[in-house]
Amino acid sequence: MKNSTAVDGTVVGKTAAILRTFTNGAAHTFTEIVAATGLPPSTAHRLIAQLTASALLERTAHGDYRVGRTVQSIGAAGGLTTTLESLAPLLLQDLSHALDVEARLGVLTRHDVAFIEKTHGGRPATTFAHGTTAPAHATAMGKALLAFSPPSVVERFLARGLPAYTPHTIRSQAHFRRALAMTQRSGVAVAWRELELDRGALAVPVSDRTGHVVAAIEIRVDNPTAELARVRPTLTVAGRRLTRELSFTLSS
């Protein structure tokens, strides 16, 4: 696995050598990165720590390293949204029809959630070109995305504050962190009367082929708690379906 290209002795060159290790999309151990780059372990450890702190790399649940969300967004954001726009409309249409709800698909931007939606009736789903956004902390899709984002991304959103849209919007950082932890455990994010007083929503995450959560499917309901049992199976199946389709498309 030794890197056949000589490593530039500058900090930039050494950093680039580490990042080149991940061009195949796989996760790697610290030992594998050292072997691939030929860097001294102490140098590799210091640079990897800095890259991880900047969200250019991130740790997996098994302790390996993989490309972080920041690098993914630089290289794949346009392609990802284009792919989602090609896959999501039919799914949102099916979901909206099956549950008689408005259905949305959202992706995290630097400041909020950009989304497309399928409303009631025969109108087609919107596109990301419409530029429709919603606050991440006050929506179910935003919570589903942040719950599975690197800590640095969550901290960036919290640093911007949690403005109130209704008296029920979560304003406390501790309360919001608990909401994200509950989403991680259950796999379903809930928002009720946090953005609009008369509406709530449920959302599930969508992953790419590497296991990164890249989008969330949200349905808008009157009372999430009362309707969870009815809609959860269909919503969960929709999330898994798009995950499979997205994984297949991006790996083709």
pLDDT per residue as tens, the chain (252 positions): 444 445 567 887 788 889 888 765 678 899 989 988 999 999 999 999 888 887 788 888 788 888 876 555 544 445 566 678 888 888 999 999 999 999 999 999 888 999 999 998 778 888 887 788 999 999 999 999 999 998 989 998 999 999 999 999 999 999 999 999 999 999 999 999 999 999 999 999 999 888 889 999 999 999 999 999 999 999 999 999 999 888 776 555
Sketch out the chain's domains with CATH numbers.
11-67 (1.10.10.10), 70-251 (3.30.450.40)
Residues with Cβ within 8 Å of 24's Cβ and at least 6 positions away in sequence, in order, are: none
pTM over 0.75: no
User: Which of 165, 167, 166, 162 has the alpha carbon at shortest distance from 179?
Assistant: 162
φ/ψ of residue 82, rounded to 5: -65, -45
User: Which of 248, 139, 122 has the alpha carbon at shortest distance from 201?
Assistant: 139
133-134: strand order across its sheet: 133-134, 113-118, 102-108, 213-221, 200-207, 189-192
